[in-house]
């Protein structure tokens, strides 16, 4: 429940459209809803401006579907990350409008149209193999009402591809740069723009990449200023943070 929902509820009571008892009934799960296997944080949108997001990995399809079903009773967009096709098949039994993105591994249910931001987020990948993580970031930012521009496969092995897009990339308010292997791309981008860069290491790479650890350490030790780093393969965290910066 966000501030707009509470405002509408109070106005309805004031206008005598609903009774005080009915309003109290709507507020009975104001802080959280107990489902037994999950406690849905209804208060999060009011505290942070963003609703709770469902991390599907490790949950059974039935649990994912049950959380979607409850959240669907509220007027808010719903995002599930790290979702499987099996999760999605269970969700659409009660929420047929839900959409599955197999590349990003997300399930989304759009309950309302968010007003798009006038500024935009640029999401950049070093290689095509990094796109799944980038798409998780993009879907996250988009469902929160951000305009997103994608620039994929512009890594250091063919840096001219990045330079060809730099005039467009520099127009973004915040940049998400996704890279595996040695993770060099955020340093290059960070040295060329006057906007914050969110670096996302991916687990893409051969043995010495250590499943993304080499990229993570490279990004953390970047000599370019203005770079922050999220966890390995954490497209969601990057998209969420980019949204917060874009909406400041």
| pLDDT above 70: percentage of residues in the chain | 91
**Is the separation of the CB atoms in 243 and 141 below 8 Å?**
yes
198: enclosing H helix or E strand: strand 197-201
Instruction: Place 202 in a pLDDT band, splitting at 50, 70 and 90.
Output: very high
- Range with lowest mean pLDDT among 27-31, 72-76, 133-137: 27-31
Round to whole Å and give the CA distance between 86 and 235. Answer: 21
**Is the separation of the CB atoms in 184 and 215 below 8 Å?**
no
Cβ-count burial of 23 within 10 angstroms (0-12 exposed, 13-18 middle, 19+ buried)?
middle
Instruction: Place 64 in a pLDDT band, splitting at 50, 70 and 90.
Output: very high
pLDDT at 2 over 60: no
- How many residues are recorded in the chain? 248
Q: Could you give the domains of the chain? A: 31-109 (no CATH), 120-246 (3.40.50.1970)
Average of per-residue pLDDT across 239-247: 96
Tell me the pLDDT of the chain averaged across its residues: 90
pLDDT tens per residue, range 14-31: 887 778 777 666 555 556
Average of per-residue pLDDT across 106-121: 88
Instruction: Place 131 in a pLDDT band, splitting at 50, 70 and 90.
Output: very high
Strand 99-101 versus strand 78-81 pairing type = unpaired
Instruction: Place 9 in a pLDDT band, splitting at 50, 70 and 90.
Output: low
pLDDT at 173 over 60: yes
Instruction: Place 192 in a pLDDT band, splitting at 50, 70 and 90.
Output: very high
Q: Which residues, including other chains, have CB under 8 Å from residue 177's CB and lie 6 or more apart?
A: 124, 125, 126, 185, 186, 189, 190, 197, 198, 199, 200
Strand 99-101 versus strand 106-109 pairing type = antiparallel
């Amino acid at each position: 429940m966000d501030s707009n929902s509470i405002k509408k509820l109070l106005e309805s009571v004031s206008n005598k459209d609903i009774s005080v008892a009915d309003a109290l009934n709507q507020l009975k799960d104001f802080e959280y809803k107990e489902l037994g296997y999950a406690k849905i944080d209804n208060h999060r949108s009011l505290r942070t401006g963003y609703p709770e997001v469902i991390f599907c990995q490790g949950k059974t399809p039935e649990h994912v579907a049950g959380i979607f079903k409850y959240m669907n009773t509220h007027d808010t967009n719903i995002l599930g990350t790290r979702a499987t096709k099996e999760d999605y098949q269970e969700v659409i039994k009660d929420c047929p409008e839900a959409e599955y993105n197999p590349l990003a591994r997300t399930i989304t249910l759009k309950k309302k149209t968010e007003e798009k931001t006038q500024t935009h987020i640029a999401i950049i990948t070093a290689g095509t193999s990094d796109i799944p993580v980038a798409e998780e970031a993009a879907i996250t930012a988009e469902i929160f009402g951000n305009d997103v521009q994608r620039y994929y496969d512009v890594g250091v092995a063919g840096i001219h591809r990045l330079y060809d897009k730099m005039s467009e990339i520099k127009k973004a308010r915040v940049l998400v740069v996704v890279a595996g292997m040695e993770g060099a791309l955020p340093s290059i981008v960070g040295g060329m723009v006057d906007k914050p860069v969110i670096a996302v290491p991916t687990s893409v790479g051969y043995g010495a990449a250590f499943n993304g650890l080499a990229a993570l350490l490279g990004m953390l030790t970047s000599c370019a200023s203005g770079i922050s780093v999220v966890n390995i393969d954490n497209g969601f965290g990057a998209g969420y943070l980019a949204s917060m910066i874009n909406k400041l």
